[in-house]
Every structure is written in C-alpha cells, then in structure tokens.
C-alpha cells in the first residue's frame, strides 16, 4: 500500500498477498442521491431524467459489469498468503502481480465458479512493472477477461475493483479514476525487490489486502487495470481511503502477451542508464547520491563518460539522493530520451553530461 504524507513524499506497502482474516460481518454500500451521470452503460446523461431512474440504471450498470468480469477473477494461494489474478486467455494463463507470486513457482488457484482449487505453475515474473503470468494445470475452462484500453480512460471514469480481499472471494468496490500517468515507488518486501511503477492509474475504488493482481474494470466489465497498491495514513497507521493504484491494462497485457509468447519479457520499453548503483550516505548517515558500482561496457552511461565510483546527484533538474529516486526519475522517461546527468567524481566537483537512455534489459 502507498503512504502519502502532506508534503507529497511517499512510502508504500502492498495490499496483497495476505493471510485470510476471520470476518464476522459483511455490509454492502449503497450509493444514493445520484442526480446526474455520464456512463458507458445504461445510465443516461440527460438532466431531465428523474434521479431515481438515473440511480436505478446506474445500479444496473454496476451489476452487469460485475456479472461480466467476476467469472474471470481468481484467487491465488502461495506459501506466504493470498492474492488475486485475472484469466488471460483460453489456454489457462492467469495475469497477476509479481509481488503476489513472489519467489514461488507453484500455486493453488480457486476459480470463482466453485470451492475446488487447482494447481498452477509460474510462466514468468517481471518485477520492474510488478507483472507475472501463471498457468493453470488440469483446471476446467475458465472465462478469459475482456480487456479494455487504459489509454481511453479519462479522470472521473467510474471503475470497479474486483478481487479476493482477506480471502473474501469475488468482492467488488467502486470508485472513479482519480488520476492517470502516476509514477509510484513500490518498496522492497519479502516477495519483491521493490520497483517504480510507471503510468499507474490512481483510483478511489478501495483496494484491500488480497486485491493485488485482481481486476480494475469499467462499466462495460472490461479490465482496464491490475490493482497493485493501496494507500495508508502514516499518521493514523491505518488505511487512507480513496487512494489506490493499478498497473494500466495496455502495459499489463503487452507484458503478459510477451511472457505467454516467449516465456519472458523480451521488450521492456523501460529506460535505463546501463549501470548498477547503490545509495551513498554523507557523514551524518543521510542519503547523498547514487554511487555507480558498475558500468555496462558500451552502454549509455559508459558512452557518456560515466565511470565506476562516480556519484550521481541529479537527472535533469531532479535531485537524486538515493537509488529509488534514480529509479523514479528514469521511469518518467523512455528509451532514446536524452537526459542531463549530474555526477561527482571524487575529489572533484559536479559534472553534467547528456546521456541517451537505453532500454532496461529484459529477462
């Protein structure tokens, strides 16, 4: 889940996988007081439509979207807990988050059509974008999800998050697209080395533990994102309502298709400097830059004259004080972009050089 403080800095913790929770009571939320709405389903936008009729038709849109999408959302069990997944194709491939599968290579998957579980094996995981594909073994046919185009989304679109929070299968929560194109830092954890998500969808639809890897759908019932992170309040130590993040469907399906077709991601489309780096601290133990541990021969950094032992402090006008900030700065660019990299070569002063970014190696 993601924690955003009032100054705009952020840390994260993930909503899944998590152990099952014992739940003694459930409640349903009813949206009331609707006066006007524009949707892609049944709901009219005409201002003279009676509010009760608008609410009734909007309710039908929600129900139809859930009916279409829920049969494609599965529960994934690993040694470390529970997560969700989305049936990707007729061959039994399931799209989920890399942090849901973690270090596991075998899983138990429960389809929404019953209580039986079926084995599944890992096809490949791509932690840089928190995407993985597993494949069902010996399971009955499962309905593939219909995937929409996340590039068609606009802020304010109604969306529904579907998954298995706390092991409560086939749960739905509703909200809107709050923002598009977010760059969100995801921390390292037991199941993930940590990464920076690019072009993330921000949504107000509640995302809870176990929702990771599930579906964020529109009112057509088409999957337009894979829920990945949800916010927490650092002051209260609990959930921060209305702030969640999803990997956009255009990116998720592109990576999943590469994994299905090739057994791995072959074209990451993520920018890279061609070096390995570590955070450097100052005399007070505070992050002071990113130390270059090794430079890829013939790579972007090497071609620009950056060497082992240099300390990167800025990318363009963005200060870089630790390795995560460097990741975030690069995630906002594409291979082929030219950036200005400022570094210090002890004992000298700062030097700035143009670097044409390469592509993060696939695997």
Residues of the chain with CATH 2.40.10.120: 1-21+28-265
Contacts of 26 (CB under 8 A, 6+ apart): 168
- Active-site hit among 61, 129, 130, 157: 130
The CATH number corresponding to 271-359 among 1.20.210.10, 2.40.30.10, 2.30.42.10, 3.20.20.70 equals 2.30.42.10
The confidence score (pLDDT) of residue 209 equals 78
Please list the residues that pair with 302 across neighbouring strands.
none
Distance CA 159, CA 216 (A): 6
- Active-site hit among 99, 169, 178, 192: 99
3-state secondary structure the chain: CEEECCCCCEEECCCCCECCCCCCCCCCCCCCCCCCCCCCCCCCCCCCCCHHHHHHHHHHHHHHHHHHHHHHEEEEEECCEEEEEEECCCCCEEEECHHHHCCCCEEEEECCCCCCEEEEEEEEEEHHHCEEEEEECCCCCCCCCCECCHHHCCCCCEEEEEECHHHCCCEEEEEEEEEEEEEEEECCECCECCEEEEEEEEECCCCCCCCCCCEEECCCCCEEEEEEEEEEECCCCEEEEEEEEEEEHHHHHHHHHHHHHHCCCCCCCCEECCEEEEEEECCCCCEEEEEEEEECCCCHHHHCCCCCCCEEEEECCEECCCHHHHHHHHHCCCCCCEEEEEEECCCCCEEEEEEECEECCCC
The confidence score (pLDDT) of residue 165 equals 80
Distance CA 206, CA 212 (A): 12
CATH 2.40.10.120 matches 1-21+28-265: yes
Q: Which residues of the chain have pLDDT under 50?
A: 1-14, 16-40
Residues of the chain with CATH 2.30.42.10: 271-359
Q: Which of 43, 176, 192, 21 is nearest to 103 (CA)?
A: 192
Distance CA 8, CA 151 (A): 26
The dihedral built from the CA positions of residue 230, 234, 238 and 240, taken in this order, carries a sign that is: negative
The confidence score (pLDDT) of residue 232 equals 65
The answer to whether 130 is a known catalytic residue is yes
The answer to whether 106 is a known catalytic residue is no
The confidence score (pLDDT) of residue 236 equals 64
- Active-site hit among 192, 212, 249, 268: 212
Q: Which of 247, 245, 211 is nearest to 229 (CA)?
A: 245
């Amino acid at each position: 889940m993601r924690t955003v403080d009032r100054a705009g800095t952020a840390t994260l913790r993930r909503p899944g996988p998590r152990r099952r929770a014992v739940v003694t009571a459930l409640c349903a939320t009813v949206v009331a007081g609707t006066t006007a709405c524009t949707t892609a389903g049944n709901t009219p936008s005409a201002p003279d439509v009676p509010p009760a009729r608008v609410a009734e038709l909007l309710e039908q849109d929600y129900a139809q979207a859930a009916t279409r999408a829920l049969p494609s959302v599965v529960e994934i069990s690993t040694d470390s807990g529970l997560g969700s997944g989305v049936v990707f194709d007729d061959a039994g491939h399931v799209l989920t988050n890399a942090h849901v599968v973690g270090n596991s290579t075998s899983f138990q998957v429960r389809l929404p059509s019953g209580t039986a579980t079926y084995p599944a094996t890992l096809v490949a995981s791509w932690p840089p974008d928190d995407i993985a594909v597993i494949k069902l073994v010996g399971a009955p046919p499962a309905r593939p999800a219909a995937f929409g185009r996340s590039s068609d989304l606009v802020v304010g679109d109604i969306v529904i998050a579907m998954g298995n929070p706390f092991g409560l299968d086939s749960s739905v929560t509703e909200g809107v697209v709050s923002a598009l194109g977010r760059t969100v830092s995801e921390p390292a954890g037991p199941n993930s080395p940590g990464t920076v998500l690019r072009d993330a969808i921000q949504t107000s639809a509640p995302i809870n533990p176990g929702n990771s890897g599930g579906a964020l759908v529109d009112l057509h019932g088409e999957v337009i994102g894979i829920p990945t992170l949800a916010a927490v309040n650092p002051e209260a130590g609990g959930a921060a309502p209305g702030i969640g993040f999803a990997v956009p469907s255009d990116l998720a399906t592109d990576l999943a298709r590469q994994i299905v077709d090739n057994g791995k991601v072959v074209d990451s489309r993520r920018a890279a400097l061609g070096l390995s780096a570590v955070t450097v601290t100052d005399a007070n133990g505070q992050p002071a830059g990113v130390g270059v541990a090794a430079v890829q021969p013939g790579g972007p950094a090497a071609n620009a004259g950056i060497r082992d032992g240099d300390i990167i402090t800025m990318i363009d006008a963005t200060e870089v004080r630790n390795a995560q900030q460097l990741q975030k700065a690069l995630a906002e660019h594409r291979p082929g972009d030219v950036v200005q990299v400022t570094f210090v070569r002890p004992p000298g002063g700062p030097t700035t050089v143009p670097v044409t970014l390469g592509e993060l190696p696939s695997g």
